[in-house]
Amino acid sequence: MTINEIAKMAGVSRATVSRYLHDGYVSDEKRAAIAAVIERTGYKPSVSAQLLRSRHTNFIGVIIPKLNSDSISRMADGISRTLASEGYQLLLACTENDEKKELEYLSLFQENNVDGIILFGTIFTAAHRKLLSGLLVPVVILSQYEKGFSCVYSDDYQAALELGRCIAPTAGETAVISVTPSDEAVGKRRLKGFTDAFRESDIEIKKDHIAISGFTAQSGENAARELLSRHPRIDTLLCVTDTIASGAYRAIRNAGLTIPDDIQISGFGDSTVSTVLYPALTTVHLCFEQAGESAAHILLSHIRDENEPVSEVRYEYQVRVRGSIRSRA
């Protein structure tokens, strides 16, 4: 039983239940409704949860999927600068892309009385939704959209669609290196944006031309090598991250092919590596620092006022066309 479930059964908001549990102002009518539900269900908030809102620690828990990521470090910079200016300190937890560790850290941060949590979202399971709904500290989800929670995320579908439209006119046989479709933003929305853009140009990206990779450069190299061995006529390769694309560069060159004449290639994220590669990588620039700042500001608003409504913010993007794709004749 969670606060959200108590609120739904009583016909009140989650914030109203929270105020009731912490002896804040609640009208007599709503107080009676909440009390009746609690008595009927036998709901008992934990002692740590009751104490959680009684004081501020000036610590914010930040849960990230990995450390060696240009995009994550840029978002973390935005978070850190914003929170530091307000006197808060970060407690950083790295899950190594293990969604079970996300659950562990969410519970651990709440038990240790942080004032709020920023979760870099990856994969959301039923267990995630249940735990997030029961948190008594405010949480903001960064990089993924999850209904009912404050989120800061990019329009991955539209960005991939726009990038695909830039590449499709010079494409023939096309392949994609994606990641697990359980990752809603990267593995599902970006892939759909690419396939829809190419469909507009009457180019079908066949299922056997879509490889699933990890997030590392080595995984990208392995996936590209496998695609090229099975489909040697590929002349266009779309990668859902810049890191994956950097590995694909190695596979393409090791196969004796040139970029972009033999194979044009794109990435996603406009990381530092995208301009170091030669030719420079065509990609999508995402405003990561702005995203981190927005997440921090939203969390501060929730900390200051538990009645603050849920916020959904999409951060901006721009397609960066560079030398890794062929120019139109």
Say what the pLDDT of residue 224 is: 98
325 found inside a domain: no
Residue 95 has pLDDT above 90, yes or no: yes
| Residue range 76-89: mean pLDDT, rounded | 94
51 found inside a domain: no
Could you tell me if 274 and 189 lie in one domain?
yes
| Residue range 288-303: mean pLDDT, rounded | 94
Could you tell me if 280 and 215 lie in one domain?
yes
Confidence of residue 57 (pLDDT cuts 50, 70, 90): confident
Strand partners, 11: none
Could you tell me if 145 and 195 lie in one domain?
no
Could you tell me if 118 and 175 lie in one domain?
no
Could you tell me if 184 and 221 lie in one domain?
yes
Could you tell me if 195 and 311 lie in one domain?
no
Q: How far is CA 68 from CA 65, 210, 213, 237, in A?
A: 10, 25, 17, 24
321 found inside a domain: no
Q: How far apart are CA 132 and CA 35, in angstroms?
A: 23
Q: Which residues form the domain of 236?
A: 156-286
Could you tell me if 281 and 293 lie in one domain?
no
Say what the pLDDT of residue 227 is: 98
Beta-carbon neighbour count of residue 314 at 10 Å? 15
Say what the pLDDT of residue 329 is: 64
CATH number of the domain where residue 307 is located:
3.40.50.2300
Residue 209 has pLDDT above 60, yes or no: yes
Q: Tell me the pairing of strands 312-315 and 236-239.
A: unpaired
pLDDT tens digits, 162-197: 999 999 999 999 999 999 998 989 999 999 999 999
Confidence of residue 154 (pLDDT cuts 50, 70, 90): very high
- Structurally, the chain folds into a number of domains equal to 3
| Residue range 83-103: mean pLDDT, rounded | 92
Could you tell me if 195 and 282 lie in one domain?
yes
Could you tell me if 37 and 143 lie in one domain?
no
328 found inside a domain: no
